[in-house]
Amino acid sequence: MTTAKDLFIIAMDPQTDRSVGQGDLSLALAGAELIDLIGAQAVALDGDSIVPGQQPALDDRQLGEASAALVRQVPYEQVEDWLWRRGRDLAAAYQAALEADGQLARGRSGRSLFGAERLEVVDSPARRQALGRREADEPVLAALAAVVGIPGGPSGEQPSLDDEAVTTVLAFVNDAVMELEAVRQRRSIEKAAFANVWRGP
């Protein structure tokens, strides 16, 4: 399993106290993919530019799709642009993929990020691995989970990271999620103001 899939499973797990927004999760999933590509030496960062490297055989379909989506000519794509481009509807794509793989099932006790229809995470080695990483406060997963509002593991401490490229990606994910929240708040204010105009004094 990849970091992105582990993050999705954690976000869907009933043990997660807080509902995670689809847009926030999509941005974090794009960041998780980029971090895994860095780990696989498929990309490196030059400042905030994503420089493609070798194309290793990736045994995960979604990660392979992420690798295929990389901009491979100069000027290379910046991390921020990647998050918004790759992250578009990415949570829905992961839901469909995990459902097709039998990791998610229709049920009564689960919840969906995308409306009233209920989904639950199937008890499987993949779920146990994801929850195990969370319980162990695995730094990258813990940092991504924190960005989308999922509480940390038992220690409750901020994860420490010693990889500059990973830290850079996480900072951009955090900024993107904050920007998305600012857009939501602005739209909410505009909608309320518009409603007040029609309501009158």
pLDDT tens-digit profile of 50-88? 999 887 788 899 999 999 999 999 999 999 999 999 999
For residue 122, count CB atoms less than 10 angstroms from its CB and return exposed for 0-12, middle for 13-18, buried for 19 or more.
middle
Check residue 64 and give its pLDDT: 93
Check residue 9 and give its pLDDT: 92
Check residue 154 and give its pLDDT: 53
Contacts of 196 (CB under 8 A, 6+ apart): none
Check residue 150 and give its pLDDT: 87
Give 199 or 110, the one with higher predicted confidence.
199
In this prediction the pTM is 0.85
The count of residues in the chain is 201
Residue 79 structure tokens = 């991390």
pLDDT above 60 (res 45): yes
Instruction: List pLDDT tens digits, range 119-155.
Output: 788 888 989 999 899 888 899 999 999 999 887 655 5
Give 78 or 194, the one with higher predicted confidence.
78
